[in-house]
Structure 1
Amino acid sequence: MHLPPPDPGLSPRTGYTRAHWEGAADALLAAVEPYATADRALYHLPGPRPSWSGRLSDGLEGYARTLLLAAFRRDERVLARYADGLAAGTAGVWPRIEDRGQPLVEAASVALALRLTRAQLWDRLDDAVRQRTAGWLADALTARPWPCNWELFPVTVGGFLASVGHEVEASRAAVERGLERIEQWYVGDGWYTDGDGRKYDYYNGWAMHLYPVLHAWLADDRERLATHGARLSDHLAAHARLFGADGAPVRQGRSLTYRFATTAPLWLGALTGHTPLPPGETRRLASGALKYFLERGAVDSHGLLTLGWHGPDESVLQGYSGPASPYWASKGFLGLLLPADHPVWTAPEEPGPAEREDAVTGLAAPNWLLQSTRSDGLVRLHNHGSEDVRWDPYYTRLAYSTVTAPTSSNDDSPDNSVVVGGDPGRTGIVPLGVGDGWAASRHTAAGGTAEVTSLVVARGAVEVRAHLVTGAAPGTPVRVTGWAPADGVRTELVPVAGLSANHADVAELTGGTGAGPTLFVALARLTGEPDPAPLEELVTVEVDSAQEVHLQWSDGTRERFELTPRPARLPG
């Protein structure tokens, strides 16, 4: 991909400007064009296909997700090609929108694109094409979505159809129904779960906030924009901390092949005026993520986005991932809706949180602890509240970072785990709170026969990890693992209580349960520093018979934590 020369004056950290974003969008749109059918209704991109979706659905996905990119780019020549595809697709080529079918997802992208480019695209279509398009989209108003972020796809379609006067009553009803349903998943502080349970990941930004805020902004619904905009602003305060200094997002959750779609809520806050971030920081974070992926093989030799993280990588895919799935990354180009003279494009870049300070930030809603270090720009996410066993290992590990990838769920030694009796599972996660530099949770293990209460205390790059195992038979083997290896960083795991290292590679420690509750404690570190001080010099840990953990940091600060009955920081 050929982009303009870097601009170190305006963008001293990434070199990227609006011209780079435009160049990347143009290159991605040009690369997919050869894969369009002759009538331009379908885009059959190369790659493995989900067994359940079908070729027509996959081709529609290619059309819809790249149309969304074209809508953000607003190049009328490109939009004219998609107008041809719209005329053909709605003439019987595209599959119908049905309950819980993939076309419902793609209908939302088509509707949003048409709403954003009404003057350039919709208003120029023949009336017959407009009627066919509205008729095809209208099935989304009553199609049953999966009970998760899918509830917002009828909202997006309904918002567009109401704006053009098609089935207005039914369209408004779909909007109200979908927005009402996601209310039950709002947990405060700018966080939603992606459906029932405790599913926290990037869907908060690229779906749960994106669609309601854009709908309210486009509809000039000031009351809803105030409500959803305030939630977005709250969310961005934490979201900004999920990017490393190199631009990498934390590698946690599902659908990670959408890559720089993680930047969509950053742009959305600037677009609607609901963000706590200064314009230069918004662009720095977004450009950093785009640059991170473009420089690491996200685009192949044909200019196509691959199914993976850097390059092709099956470990980040789900069963629904098809050849065109990565093009939901188009959402990351939302910033192109902002005019060229907007401060988000003209302000000098400002450093992101991981570049400014060492910070340990507790997020109460997902029960996460975010740990970042300025010296190496790494971000670590300690997960004590997010769970979706369908997508293990990207939900159920104790920690994730911007530089490491979780090991396979079939791996004998899964990273960042407590393995009780040979069972690496972590289910039934119960958040037990976050505080000043700590987070805790409880989960079931050993096939449900044991319970593990876990506490992490973080300071700088140092982590103290404590695990209290109850309910296991005496002598049950326990393994505690640390960070997975990664290029350019150092991973450490040092035994403190109940554990020992059996070999030079201390990424795994072993121990065994006693006759009652047994406490296991280790020091861990993930760092990009070439020669860090030994962990034992930075913190001293002692454990007493009351299942309390006593810490003394190198600056003399003392802390005391109780593991039973519920982890908590004690005075003194």
Structure 2
Amino acid sequence: MKLPPEDRALSPYTGYTRNHWVAAADGLLEAAWRWSTPGGALLDLPGPASANGARSDGLEGFARTFLAAGFRVAGEAGADPHGWLDRYARGLDAGTRTPGRDGAESWPVILDYDVAGQPMVESASVALGLRLTRPWLWDTLDGRVRDRIEGWLRGALRHVPSPNNWHLFPYTVAGFLESVGRGDAETARARDRALELLEGWYRGHGWYADGDGRAFDYYNGWALHLYPVLDAHLAGVPTALGARLREHLGAFALWFGGDGSPIHFGRSLTYRFGAGAAVGLGAITAETPLRPGVSRRLLSGALRYFVDRGAVGEDGLLSLGWHGPHRPTVQFYSGPGSPYWASKAFVCLLAPPQHPLWTAREEPAPSEVADTALALPTPGLLLQSTASDGVVRLHNHGSDHVRPREAEAADGDDPHYGRFAYSTRTGPTTRGNVADNHFAVVVGGVRSVRRRIHPLGAGQGDGWGWGASWHRPIFGRGPAAVPGLRVESVTVARGRDEVRVHRVVGAPPGARAEQTGWATGPGESVLRPLAGWSRQDEVRAPHGTAYVPWAVLPCLSADVLGTGVLAALAVLGAEAGDPVASATIDGVEIRWPDGFAVAIRFDPLDVVPG
């Protein structure tokens, strides 16, 4: 990827400017197009096929890179020095001639999500790319080609989406068709249905659940906010949904570390700097509380973070992983073209060169300004950042990926949701290794996992914050659950200190409790017993994480019977405070040497300064 020289006067934190974003888009497109079919309908990028098959993967490569090209050309008012739109015009023609056939150029047809649904996802990128570039692409196509494209896209309106953000894919297709005078009752139904569901998924304070469950993650920004707000922006109509985006960004700005890394949490992390899509969307729509210099700092910080750490390989392609290739970061549905949903971050290019997003001087990210404890009660999350190192930690007391129709025991450990803490400097250990940042009850030699998370609350005070939840321990062998067994958990964050308190209720004879800390290199994290723990060890995770190839974890353990309360101090880093704790089965009091104290009561839950 050939990038221009840094500009440290305008961008003192990253050196990146709008020209870097344009060059990044061109570099990614050039590398991807080396793998196109002769007719340009599919981009068959090298790598293992996804569960959807190679043809679907080729369409994914075409559609997701088309999104980057669309933002890049639209942001230049149609200027297209590399001829990207000519390539996509050829591919649109070739791919829609005989959809569903075995020909080398034929696109797969769009079917229900549980049959062959991935093309429905890609239809939204195709539709959005066409809408962004209408004057220079769609309007120049032969009428028969346009009819064929419409026929293929309408498959998204006539089949069943997955019961989550997927409903915004036919919404986006319908929005494009209506924008070119091809709307009808079918497009209206798709849009009305999506907005109806979106309203039901809204939980307040800028947060949507991704479906009827409690999945709160990056999909809130790069899907649930992006598609409807961008649709309204392109149509030039006001939308009340913009105010929700604004509210979301006020807290979301703290999801990025001082080094640019987004918090390593949730699904589809191989989309990498796509995490910044909502920040860019807020900037171009003016639906943001962030100053332009802060928005660019977050956007360019994330892009540079991944460029500098090998996300773009020597072949110029985005790999399946995090820094470089890392299979445990990737979902089963991801193929070689999947990482190019990172293209959504290029929405920022819709801001022209003279826009304040590009002309304002970069300002520090929120994680670099002050130590912060920010409670997000709606999703049940607690954010904790330290300005001295720019690290952000996320304490999860409310977001899981258990669908309402699923049993809790399904799928076992979910490393990207089930852990108590995530950060911008660490990733979770893989299945098969000891789980990091985990509280387990061990019964009959089997460690429990945390699946469905029941939030109990979150709050903050001056310089500190807390989050709380309960869960039912689930076991992978033998009975899935022990009758009456539950764990109530509270995290108190202050400075870089995390005090983790757990009350086990209903522990059977012979049970043992275990608490692990951060997965890092040796000597890079602390886990100190404060109350209830009897043994302190260090365990290894030889499969490592997305950040380190090999990791160690501090570990505490203790026997537990009936009801027991345990407290520990965890710190990501080598320096820790020196709080002390006293515990009963009814609550815990935590006190720091400077006199600050927090009292936790369990029945009912109450967390207050002591």
Q: Which TM-score applies when normalising by structure 2?
A: 0.89
Match of 1:498 in 2: 532
For 2:183 and 2:388, the matched residues in 1 are separated by 57
Query: Is the Cα–Cα contact under 8 Å of residues 97 and 104 in structure 1 kept in the other structure?
Result: yes
1:159 aligns with 2:150: no
Secondary structure of residue in 2 paired with 1:158 = helix
Helix, strand or coil: the match of 1:306? Answer: coil
- Tell me which residue corresponds to 2:405: none
The code of the aligned residue for 1:252 comes to: F
In 2, the alpha carbon distance for the partners of 1:254 and 1:11 equals: 31
Q: Is 1:420–1:446's contact at 8 Å kept on the other side of the alignment?
A: no
Question: Structure 2: how far apart are the matches of 1:352 and 1:146?
Answer: 36
- Structure-1 residue corresponding to 2:555: 508
In 1, Cα distance between equivalents of 2:88 and 2:589: 64
More displaced stretch, 442-451 vs 345-354: 442-451
Opposite residue 593 of structure 2, the aligned amino acid is S
Give the residue type in structure 2 aligned to 1:522. Answer: A
CA contact under 8 A between 1:432 and 1:566: conserved in structure 2? no
Residues 417, 424 of structure 1: 8 Å contact kept: no
Q: Is 1:522 aligned to residue 568 of structure 2? A: yes
The alpha carbon displacement at 1:221 in A equals 3.0
- The answer to whether the Cα contact below 8 Å between 1:186 and 1:193 also exists between their aligned partners in 2 is yes
Structure 1 residue 467 corresponds to structure 2 residue 502: yes
Q: Distance in 1 between matches of 2:590 and 2:247?
A: 33
Answering whether residue 126 of structure 2 is matched by residue 84 of structure 1, we say no
Provide structure 2 residue ranges, at least 5 long, that are not aligned to the other structure. Answer: 74-78, 99-105, 403-410, 476-480, 540-552
CA contact (8 A) 2:397 2:455 kept: yes
Match of 2:118 among 102, 105, 115: 102
The residue number in structure 1 matching 2:590 is 551
Q: Is the 8 A contact 1:457 1:464 kept in 2?
A: yes
| Aligned counterparts of 1:2 and 1:142: Cα–Cα separation in 2 | 43
SS of match in other structure, 1:47: coil
Which residue is equivalent to 1:299?
Answer: 312
Name the residue aligned to 1:397: 419
Give distance in 2, aligned partners of 1:38 and 1:360.
Answer: 54
Query: Structure 1 vs Structure 2: percent identity of aligned residues?
Result: 52
- Give the stretch that moved more between structures: 130-139 or 260-269: 130-139
- 1:429 and 2:456 aligned: no
| One-letter amino acid of the structure 1 residue matched with residue 392 of structure 2 | V
Moved over 4 A (4+): none
> Which of 188, 193, 202 is the matching residue for 2:204?
188
Q: Which runs of 5+ in 1 are unaligned?
A: none
Q: Give the drift of 1:236.
A: 0.5
Change (3 A) 1:571 1:42: closer
Structure 2 partner of 1:535: 577
Deviations 1:294-348 (A, max 9, x none): 0111011110000000000001111100010000011111111110000000000
Name the structure 2 match of 1:377. 390
1:571–1:241 Cα change, 3 Å:
closer
**Residue identity opposite 1:493 in structure 2:** L
**Aligned pairs for 1:14-29 within 5 A:** 14-29=14-29
3-state DSSP of counterpart to 2:347: helix
Whether the 8 Å CA contact 1:454–1:468 is kept in 2: the answer is: yes
CA distance in 2, matches of 1:496, 1:347: 48
TM-superposed CA distance for 1:127, in Å, is 1.3
Q: Which amino acid aligns with 2:599?
A: R
Query: How far 1:200 moved relative to its partner?
Result: 0.8
CA distance in 1, matches of 2:452, 2:137: 49
Name the structure 1 match of 2:517: 482
Indicate whether 1:248 and 2:261 are aligned. yes
1:209 maps to what in 2? 225
1: distance between equivalents of 2:54 and 2:560? 53
1:2 matches 2:2: yes
Contact 2:22 2:72 in 1 (8 A): yes
3-state SS of paired residue (1:435): strand
191, 206, 209: which one pairs with 1:175? 191
Give the drift of 1:388. 1.2
The secondary structure found in structure 1 opposite 2:472 is: strand
Distance in 1 (CA, whole Å) between partners of 2:598 and 2:321 is 42
Q: Which amino acid letter does the alignment assign opposite residue 400 of structure 2?
A: E
Q: Deviations over 1:68-92 (max 9, x none)?
A: 1110110531111110111111111
Shift of 1:402: 0.4
Distance in 1 (CA, whole Å) between partners of 2:320 and 2:521 is 21
Contact 1:41–1:89 (Cα < 8 Å) also in 2: yes
Residue equivalent to 1:39: 39
- CA positional deviation for 1:546: 4.7
Q: What are the Cα deviations for residues 420-479 of structure 1, in whole angstroms up to 9, with x where unaligned? A: 013231123110000121110000115422200001101000011111001111341111
Q: Partner letter of residue 420 of structure 1?
A: V
The separation in 2 between residues aligned to 1:354 and 1:571, in whole angstroms, is 24
Root-mean-square deviation (CA, aligned residues, Å) is 1.5
Residue 257 of structure 1 contacts residue 317 of structure 1 at CA under 8 Å; is this kept in 2? yes
Q: Secondary structure at the match of 2:367?
A: helix
- Separation in 2 of the partners of 1:553 and 1:415? 26
Q: Secondary structure of 1:23's match?
A: helix
Structure 2 Cα separation of the partners of residues 184 and 203 of structure 1:
16
CA contact (8 A) 2:563 2:585 kept: no
